[in-house]
Homo-oligomer: A and B are copies of this chain.
Amino acid sequence: MQELATLSINVGLLGLGTVGVGTAQILLDPVGRHPLIGQLRLARVGVRDLHKSRPIDIPADCLTTNLEAIVSDPQISVVVEVLGGLEPARSLILKAIAHGKHVVTANKAVVARYGDEIFTAANQAGVYVMLEAAVGGGIPIVQPLKQALGVNRIQALTGIVNGTTNYILTRMQREAGDFSSILADAQRLGYAEADPAADVDGLDAADKLAILASLAFGGRIKLADVYSEGIRQVTAADMAYAQRLGFVIKLLAIARRRSDTQPVLEELELRVHPTLVPNSHPLAAVNDVYNAILVEGEPLGQVMFFGPGAGAGPTASAVVSDLIAVAATLITEPSGAPNPLLSCSHQHYCKVSPMADIYSRFYLRLIAKDRPGVIGKLGMCFGNHGVSLESIVQTGMEEDCAEIVIVSHEVREANFQTALDDIRSFTEIQRVASVLRVL
């Protein structure tokens, strides 16, 4: 057997924010880590400001503000994009590919939106685009989905993939606090952005779900096909009722096959929404900023991956794990066929069910006038629409009102919503206070 070549592989780094610094720190300090890191050379680092003070010593001749020069540098084999945002990240990735560079990116927003364009270009150019860091921070999930888990027929993937919302929901649960005050506190502590929309409206989770589902089900996903609903409407009252019923509320990203009996991909459900998760479920115990992804497949059963979903160190760990995967391939076979475990070659688009056709349990909280017969009328209405109920609890409130909390069995969404439309018109119903889905 040949000796492992001691070829050095030049890496160009685009961006020196927290993840960029974390990545450079690993590359510049390889002792005690995987020996392949010693063969990666941080050749050039692209930044906006050469003179900004940074918590790391980068040789001055490495730094440049000319990012275009990095992606076209013939000495560089792999470009790491940790700029974030859509542009210039997308253009730089495409230019790097056009110049025959492999790309490692942490940019979920770009991959979820422009994955088609990027992977089509990468396959034509014969380069890899690696994205372990784009989802789940330091949790190895992309590589297992491409490799170890791929021998299974994946039936479902369910994840807590946004740390900010998990932090807010965990605190709402512990403190019986309201969304807006805890969001404000999270912003003060740096757990939520000044503009929190991408997180709290579920958009970041939708980006990640599009990427994970594409890997799990082996087809391309249009981001517009992913339903997403955020956590702004979750109240302390819902948290308390959920707890009483044996649930916690989590923002889940769910991808599942419509029929588990059908081995070939038929139709997917792709949705992000706050969800009542039974206390006994493995995802129920995932708290604070942690992420976790549960994968179900045949014949494997359930496996779950848990860890830090963000942060400089974890994300940098994922970036460098992609770098060594590419390096191993370059060293063993610099000009061979693409390694089918690293490349991403699926071409077709997954068919995604409209939300009206998904199946879920539902949690419903109503404010009603406290009159005899209301419960009966609700039960009849649901029954007429084929919605069967698991539990119904009425609690007296002040001023002749009652709060009614209903949990349904699994039902087609359209049936539930049609029943709900009828219920809204009942004179006894003052208000539909919340509608949440139940795992």
Measured CB to CB, the residues of A under 8 A from B are 1-5, 22, 25-26, 31-37, 123-126, 132, 138-140, 143-144, 147-153, 263-265, 282, 285, 297-308, 311-314, 316-318, 320-321, 323-325, 328-329, 331-333, 336-341
Copies of the chain in the assembly:
2
Q: Which of B1, B124, B126, B308 contacts A301, CB < 8 Å?
A: B308
For A123, the chain B residues whose CB sits under 8 A away are 1
Could you tell me if B143 and A148 are in contact, using CB atoms closer than 8 angstroms? Answer: yes
For A265, the chain B residues whose CB sits under 8 A away are 32
Identity of the chain B residue whose Cβ is nearest the Cβ of A123 in the assembled complex: B1
Could you tell me if A150 and B34 are in contact, using CB atoms closer than 8 angstroms? Answer: yes
Highest count of chain B CB atoms <10 Å: which of A22, A305, A316: A305
Q: Contacts A151-B26, A151-B33, A332-B337: A311 and B307 contacting too (C-beta < 8 A)?
A: no
Could you tell me if A151 and B299 are in contact, using CB atoms closer than 8 angstroms? Answer: no
Could you tell me if B317 and A26 are in contact, using CB atoms closer than 8 angstroms? Answer: no
For A144, the chain B residues whose CB sits under 8 A away are 140, 143-144
Could you tell me if A25 and B299 are in contact, using CB atoms closer than 8 angstroms? Answer: yes
Could you tell me if A140 and B151 are in contact, using CB atoms closer than 8 angstroms? Answer: no
> Within the complex, what minimum Cβ distance (angstroms) separates A147 from chain B?
6
Could you tell me if A299 and B331 are in contact, using CB atoms closer than 8 angstroms? Answer: no
- How distant is the Cα of A302 from the Cα of B312 in the complex, in angstroms? 14
Q: Contacts A33-B150, A148-B132: A331 and B340 contacting too (C-beta < 8 A)?
A: yes
Some 8 contacts from A to B, beta carbons below 8 A apart, are A26-B299, A33-B153, A37-B151, A138-B300, A299-B316, A300-B314, A331-B337, A332-B337
For A321, the chain B residues whose CB sits under 8 A away are 147-151
Identity of the chain B residue whose Cβ is nearest the Cβ of A305 in the assembled complex: B305
For A33, the chain B residues whose CB sits under 8 A away are 150-153
For A314, the chain B residues whose CB sits under 8 A away are 299-301
Q: Contacts A138-B300, A144-B144, A300-B317: A337 and B149 contacting too (C-beta < 8 A)?
A: no
Could you tell me if B298 and A313 are in contact, using CB atoms closer than 8 angstroms? Answer: yes
Q: Contacts A33-B150, A37-B151, A138-B303: A328 and B324 contacting too (C-beta < 8 A)?
A: no
Highest count of chain B CB atoms <10 Å: which of A125, A264, A333: A333
- How distant is the Cα of A282 from the Cα of B324 in the complex, in angstroms? 29
> Within the complex, what minimum Cβ distance (angstroms) separates A259 from chain B?
12
Q: Which of B308, B329, B337 contacts A300, CB < 8 Å?
A: B308
Identity of the chain B residue whose Cβ is nearest the Cβ of A37 in the assembled complex: B151
Could you tell me if B333 and A336 are in contact, using CB atoms closer than 8 angstroms? Answer: yes
Could you tell me if A311 and B318 are in contact, using CB atoms closer than 8 angstroms? Answer: no
- How distant is the Cα of A4 from the Cα of B37 in the complex, in angstroms? 28
